[in-house]
Structure 1
Amino acid sequence: MSTGSEPLAGFAVGVTAARRHEELATLLERRGARVVLAPAIRLVPLDDDAELLAATRACAAGPLDHVVVTTGIGFRTWLETADGHGLRDALVDRLAGTEIVARGPKARGAVRSAGLREAWSPESEGCAEVTRHLLGRDIAGARIAVQLYGERQPELTGALRAAGAEVIEIPVYRWSRAEDPTPLRRLVGQAVTGTVDAITFTSAPAVEATLAVAAADGLEDALLEAMRGHLVAACVGPVTARTLTGRGVPTVQPERARLGALVRALVTGLPVRRSRRLSVRGWSLELRGHAVVLDGQLRPIAPAPMAIRRARSAAAA
C-alpha cells in the first residue's frame, strides 16, 4: 500500500496533449497521480508542401527584414522541408541577416540549434506582444516572414499588412481534432462528475477541442462550472489559458512554459483545491481526490463514498 508521500498520490489528472503526452504522463505518475490519457488534438502534416516550398523560395529569393518564429517544431519542420529541396543553406543564410523574433523558449531553442540568434522574444509568449513589438517599428515596406502554427494568425498577419508590410506566411503543419474522440468524451464526463481532479492543457487548440467535445455532448457549461469549482485546469502558459480565462475559469500556470514546470505548478496548486485535512477520533485524515490518507497510508475510496465524505467534511467546515 502506498504511503501517500507522493504529492499527487490519490489524485486523477487528465492529459489532453497530442505531442509529448507520454513524457507528461510519466512526470505526473512519478509524483503519484493516476493519469487519464485523452488526446484532444493531433498534429497533421500538410497534404502538399507546395505552399511551404513557394514561401521558402520567396524568403530565400529576396531580402527579409523580420522573421517571426512561433514554435520550435514548426521552425525545425520548415528547415527540414527546405533541406529536402536543397534550400536549407540558402534559407539559413537569409535568416542570419534578418531580425528574428522568437515567440517563446521552444522557438528560441530551435532558432539557436540552427546556428542562428533571435533579436527579441516576448515575456508573455503571446502573439499580441509580438504584434505590438513589430508595430512599434517602421515596418512600412518591410518584408516579414511569419511561421504559422497549426492555423492562420490573422490578428498578427493582418495587423502587419495594415501597417504596410509585405507578409510571407509559412505554413508547416495544422491541428486537427483527435481521430477518436471517445477518450476525450470520457474524460469530460469524469471531470463533470468529479472523478477526475485536474485536466492539463499544453496548447490553445487542445482547450478549444475539449470545449467543443463537451458542447457536442451538452456538457460545455457543466465542464466550465466544474473548472470554476472542484476541477483544476492546468495550462502550460497564458496563451493556452486565454480561452478559459475569458470564460471566468481560474487556471494553474507555471512561470515558464515547460512540462516539468507545469507538473510542479500542479503539485502546488492541486492539493489546495482538492484536499482537506481532518482529525477524527485521534486519527489524522486527509481527503485527496479519489483516496484518503489515514495516518500516512493511502487508501483508495470509490467515487460515491468519497462524495459523501467530502459533503460531510464541507458541511462540518
Structure 2
Amino acid sequence: MTGLKNKRIGIAADRSGDSIARLVANMGGESTVLPIQGKQILNEDTCEQNLTDFLNEDFDWVILTTGIGGRTLGESAQYHGLNGAFIEKLGKENLAVRGSKTVNWLKENNLSPHIISEDGTMKDLIERLSYQERKGRVFLQAYNQDDVLLKHSLEDIGYSVYLSKPYSFEAPVPNLLDELTSEIISSQIDAAIFTSKTQVRNLFAAEVDQKDLIEAFNRDVLAVAVGKVTAKELEDKGIANVLQPEKPKMGAMVVELDRYFRDHAPAGSN
C-alpha cells in the first residue's frame, strides 16, 4: 500500500499544480489544486528600460535570482530585436545565479555562471559574493518580493546595485486563497504542498488568524516544500515540521511525501 492512499493533499502551486496532482493520483492519493501564487505580470516598459540600460552601461556582475526573470528579459530582448546583443553581453559578464531553473535557462543559451548558490538560497549567493575581491556595480534581477532587502544586502558588502524588476505578481484569487485557508484550518486535508515562498506569504497575508493556521499545521496538516527557500519561509512562520525532498524536484517531493505517510502509518495498517 502506498502512503498516499486515502490521503487528501492541497496543492498551492499554479503552473505545476496539475502535474503534482497527477503524481499524487499515481500514488493513490487525492488532491485539490488551489493555486495561490498570483498571476505573473510582465512589466513591459520596465523590462525594455532594463535591457537598454544593461546593453549601454557597464556592470561588474549580473545576478539572476529566478529562471523566470532571466527568461523574461530574454523574451523581451527577442521581441525588441536585441536578443543577440543581450546574450552576447551576458556571455562576457560575471554571472551569479541561484536556482536550478536559472541555471537551466543559462544552459539553453550556452551560458555558464561564475557563481552558483550551493543551496539555492540568496543568503548563500550573497555570502559568496562577499568574498569577491572585486565588488563594483551589479545588475540585479529581482521581482516584487525582497527586492529592497536584496539591494541593501549587496550594498552593505560593497556593491553598487542597479535593480531590474522585469516581472511581478498580482495578489491571488481571493476565493482560492479562502478555500485553501479553510481546508487547512479545518484539517480537511492531510498535507499542503507549496512550491514557492510567494505562496506561503500569500497564505499568511490572508485576513485570518495566523495562530489558527500555525496550530493546524503543527497539529494535523503536514506542510510540504519543494526546496529550501520555500521550507525556510514556512519555518519562519512558526511551522515546526516542514517536509522537503533532498533534491528540489516535484517528483522527489511527492515520493518523499508518500514515504512520510508510509513511515507514520498507524500500527497494523496495510
TM-score, L = length of structure 1:
0.79
Greater CA radius of gyration, 1 or 2? Answer: 1
Equivalent in the alignment of 1:262: 253
Structure 2 residue corresponding to 1:203, chosen from 178, 196, 203: 196
Give the deviation of 1:266 after TM superposition. 0.9
Structure 2 residue corresponding to 1:13, chosen from 9, 19, 23: 9
Residues 9 and 31 of structure 1 are in contact (CA less than 8 Å); yes or no, is this contact kept in structure 2? Answer: yes
Work out the CA distance in 1 between the residues paired with 2:80 and 2:160: 24
> Does residue 225 in structure 1 map to residue 219 in structure 2?
no
Work out the CA distance in 2 between the residues paired with 1:62 and 1:146: 13
Give the deviation of 1:194 after TM superposition. 2.2
Residue 226 to residue 152, structure 1, CA distance change in 2 (3 Å)? closer
Equivalent in the alignment of 2:243: 252
Q: Which moved more, 1:194-203 or 1:67-76?
A: 67-76
Equivalent in the alignment of 2:227: 237
Residues 39 and 172 of structure 2 are in contact (CA less than 8 Å); yes or no, is this contact kept in structure 1? Answer: no
| Structure 1 residue identity aligned to 2:248 | A
Work out the CA distance in 1 between the residues paired with 2:86 and 2:137: 15
Structure 2 residue corresponding to 1:58, chosen from 42, 53, 58: 53
Equivalent in the alignment of 1:298: none
Q: Which structure has the higher relative contact order (CA within 8 Å, separation 6+)?
A: 2
| Structure 1 residue identity aligned to 2:29 | A
Deviation track 1:73-117 (CA, whole Å, cap 9, x = no partner) reads 221111000111121111111110112112011110011101111
Deviation track 1:263-302 (CA, whole Å, cap 9, x = no partner) reads 11211223444x3123xxxxxxx2xxxxxx6xxxxxxxxx
* TM alignment of 1:35-114, pairs within 5 A: 35-46=31-42, 48-114=43-109
Equivalent in the alignment of 2:20: 24
Give the deviation of 1:248 after TM superposition. 4.0
Work out the CA distance in 1 between the residues paired with 2:214 and 2:65: 29
Residue 44 to residue 248, structure 1, CA distance change in 2 (3 Å)? closer
Structure 1 unmatched ranges of 5 or more: 279-285, 287-292, 294-317
| Structure 1 residue identity aligned to 2:33 | L
Deviation track 1:227-255 (CA, whole Å, cap 9, x = no partner) reads 11221100011211223212142100111
| Structure 2 residue identity aligned to 1:28 | V
Structure 2 unmatched ranges of 5 or more: none
Residues 64 and 95 of structure 1 are in contact (CA less than 8 Å); yes or no, is this contact kept in structure 2? Answer: no
Residue 95 to residue 212, structure 1, CA distance change in 2 (3 Å)? same
Work out the CA distance in 2 between the residues paired with 1:191 and 1:271: 21
Residues 198 and 270 of structure 1 are in contact (CA less than 8 Å); yes or no, is this contact kept in structure 2? Answer: no
**Structure ranking higher in strand proportion:** 1
- Note the aligned Cα RMSD (angstroms): 1.8
Work out the CA distance in 2 between the residues paired with 1:113 and 1:13: 34
Residues 147 and 172 of structure 1 are in contact (CA less than 8 Å); yes or no, is this contact kept in structure 2? Answer: yes
Give the deviation of 1:172 after TM superposition. 1.9
Report the 3-state secondary structure (helix = DSSP H, G, I; strand = E; otherwise coil) of the residue aligned with 1:117: coil
| Structure 2 residue identity aligned to 1:15 | I
| Structure 2 residue identity aligned to 1:187 | L
Equivalent in the alignment of 1:290: none
Report the 3-state secondary structure (helix = DSSP H, G, I; strand = E; otherwise coil) of the residue aligned with 2:126: helix
Give the deviation of 1:150 after TM superposition. 4.3
Report the 3-state secondary structure (helix = DSSP H, G, I; strand = E; otherwise coil) of the residue aligned with 2:81: coil
Give the deviation of 1:138 after TM superposition. 2.9
Report the 3-state secondary structure (helix = DSSP H, G, I; strand = E; otherwise coil) of the residue aligned with 2:38: strand
* TM alignment of 1:162-201, pairs within 5 A: 162-179=156-173, 181-201=174-194
Equivalent in the alignment of 1:307: none
Residues 10 and 33 of structure 1 are in contact (CA less than 8 Å); yes or no, is this contact kept in structure 2? Answer: yes
Residue 271 to residue 172, structure 1, CA distance change in 2 (3 Å)? farther
Give the deviation of 1:139 after TM superposition. 4.1
Equivalent in the alignment of 1:297: none
| Structure 1 residue identity aligned to 2:201 | E
| Structure 1 residue identity aligned to 2:22 | T
TM-score, L = length of structure 2:
0.92
Work out the CA distance in 1 between the residues paired with 2:115 and 2:220: 39
Give the deviation of 1:22 after TM superposition. 1.1
Equivalent in the alignment of 1:315: none
Work out the CA distance in 1 between the residues paired with 2:261 and 2:193: 11
Residues 139 and 164 of structure 1 are in contact (CA less than 8 Å); yes or no, is this contact kept in structure 2? Answer: no
> Does residue 125 in structure 1 map to residue 120 in structure 2?
yes
